Structure 1
């Protein structure tokens, strides 16, 4: 049914955004093989079902998580040409637990602390680091292994979270908890946290909806009945939750969310949480609020240094001595200043956008680029402030990302992509209160109500024509 739903969604999108017949056919045909495989797997499961092995499932989940985020890092070009430098320092004292409290809490746990106390720094300042050190900081320097990552918009919080997840996967031994990233934007803090987390696991990894083995079911039985594998792994502490986007929750829900996190995940449960700094500070200091994330250390991301940004732009253009690198000379003089372009390129997000837009890629034909030259960013008449430059970069990004001159040309044109994104953005803003999460099976809600009926009518009409053709042929 999910495969049929995916085929229907493909047809809906093709109609809605005026894709050609060849593109529509390619999209539909590409769904047939997965549909058959899904049916075959379902049939085999019905014929010979075996009880799930929780330990084996945990290792399979680790493999799936590794593949998922390796692919995501490739799509985001995290390592192309190299990961953007990201450095951090210990968070402000009013945002974190007292260091002596953290070390004392970790030492007091039954069975001892999760790490080696000899590796702990003497104070929170020892949490400072950069780049690949994030895995070591979390695993060895944070006594409780509960960490809050704070930063400004576009500072690289989500990408740093991906790098931490990949590091934890590499460090992980068989049987140890699997790091899983959860986007908090889709959570209603009045919903039990673990129920929501289990729903997210089932959505991304449908095999975890399988009933847990009887041996572990007894401990996980709920009012709704026996536990499935998703809930079992959560209750058994075999998932290390990494929560991204605390600030994307409604501000009125922040204190409730922290309280629910503390209730569902006690201080002995390792976790990671990201947020913009200001909303997190407001949540902790709001009058009448006395809640914070128990047992957590805090780090804050630091702004990019001008030299780091300049080196990155030149390297992405082919190296400091490449002709294309000279395109950046004027922009580089503004890095680290308070000029509009200097402010806009002070974050990893800003650098990612400009390199995608202005650095020509291999196989690009001679001629005008989606944006002519990065020098235009220095024109304060057209771009008088940081906001104006940011708006320009977001507008120019889609034509650059969907340019047809690529080793693997995108299926959609830039115009089709823009219209699709605008449609989905309006739906998410109007019907989802800005929540960025959208499952493919919700596309029917995001399209005009008439579209599904038109798709169904087309399918029925084609089916009827095929039947008429068969009947006519049989009469011959």
Structure 2
């Protein structure tokens, strides 16, 4: 409205100037006055239209992100349920911080538990988390739990966490383009919308299975995993490293850390601790429908307090 008024006023003033004459530095320049004022009004109109277009684009991106969040939430619930054997409970595993040789994210605490992972993650600056652990320790379960909690608390400006298998990524390809293709192929997003979501950093990549990128459990500097970590370090936000979550077996990540600085920079690396016998026994008692059936297992755990139960593997037939 303001730009339109300015345009009308400019034309009216210009017409009067042309009729009555305008003296600029002693020289009549009515036409110049009209041109200058009309140009100003046109610039105001263009700026207003540009701002409106940016607002529409921002709104559209937020709407696309909201729809994506609904689809991801449904998929994540299903994936978690499958991992837990159609049950809604898991062992509340502990994790501890394993500081990298350098560049640990600010705000990283000493550790926490599965139920606290979303608060732990939200305290990080930048929000970059590496989850390590032994095979079956519960790395993927923890990543899914984090995704569910982030989605349940999500605001329109928050990125949508999306689980992506690193085994399908060629680290020589641009990470953002690969993420956009996965959004298009998995969630049927239009290619342009997928790219814009990634560019706006409205997608939080949850990258599962760095250790699955190579057949060798001790990958070298030029391995796919090594190249992937270096590519992740180049993944930028407006003011630094972009947020991400990465899972990897402890042994593989430790090997990579020893290779000339191949670790996720500005990230908090946490390691999932094994479940002790007391924790496993307590979980079984609370979880199973027929405790008597599992009493021999519980008794064995009590007799062997150093035994370990894989956190990600629920009791069969529980």
With the shorter chain as reference, the TM-score category is 0.7 to 0.9
Answer yes or no: is 1:135 the counterpart of 2:99.
no
Partner of 1:175: 157
Q: Normalising to structure 2: TM-score of the pair?
A: 0.72
Which stretches in structure 2 are left out of the alignment for 5+ residues? 1-56
Among candidates 299, 306, 310, match of residue 270 of structure 2: 299
Judging by fraction of residues, say which structure has more strand.
2
Give the 3 Å change call, closer, same or farther, for CA 53–143 of structure 1 in structure 2: closer
**Cα offset, 1:173, TM superposition:** 0.7
Answer yes or no: is 1:285 the counterpart of 2:258.
yes
Larger Rg: 2
Give the 3 Å change call, closer, same or farther, for CA 54–144 of structure 1 in structure 2: closer
Q: What RMSD over aligned residues (CA atoms) do the two structures have, in Å? A: 2.3
**Cα offset, 1:335, TM superposition:** 4.4
Say which SS state the counterpart of residue 53 (structure 1) adopts: helix
Q: Which structure has the higher relative contact order (CA within 8 Å, separation 6+)? A: 2
State the distance in 2 between where 1:163 and 1:180 align. 12
Q: Normalising to structure 1: TM-score of the pair?
A: 0.49
Partner of 2:34: none
**Cα offset, 1:81, TM superposition:** 5.7
8 Å contact from structure 1 (residues 335, 346) kept in 2: no
Answer yes or no: is 1:356 the counterpart of 2:316.
yes
8 Å contact from structure 1 (residues 96, 296) kept in 2: no
Give the 3 Å change call, closer, same or farther, for CA 356–78 of structure 1 in structure 2: closer
State the distance in 1 between where 2:168 and 2:138 align. 21
Give the 3 Å change call, closer, same or farther, for CA 305–202 of structure 1 in structure 2: same
Answer yes or no: is 1:72 the counterpart of 2:84.
no
Deviations 1:39-73 (A, max 9, x none): xxxxxxxxxxxx99322111100111111111222
- Report how many residues are paired: 252
**Cα offset, 1:246, TM superposition:** 0.8
**Cα offset, 1:176, TM superposition:** 1.9
Deviations 1:183-242 (A, max 9, x none): 101111112211211111111111x125xxxxxxxxxxxxxxxxx111110011111111
8 Å contact from structure 2 (residues 103, 267) kept in 1: no
8 Å contact from structure 2 (residues 112, 120) kept in 1: yes
8 Å contact from structure 2 (residues 275, 310) kept in 1: yes
State the distance in 2 between where 1:327 and 1:317 align. 13
**Cα offset, 1:330, TM superposition:** 4.1
State the distance in 1 between where 2:305 and 2:81 align. 29
Say which SS state the counterpart of residue 273 (structure 1) adopts: strand
8 Å contact from structure 2 (residues 93, 272) kept in 1: yes
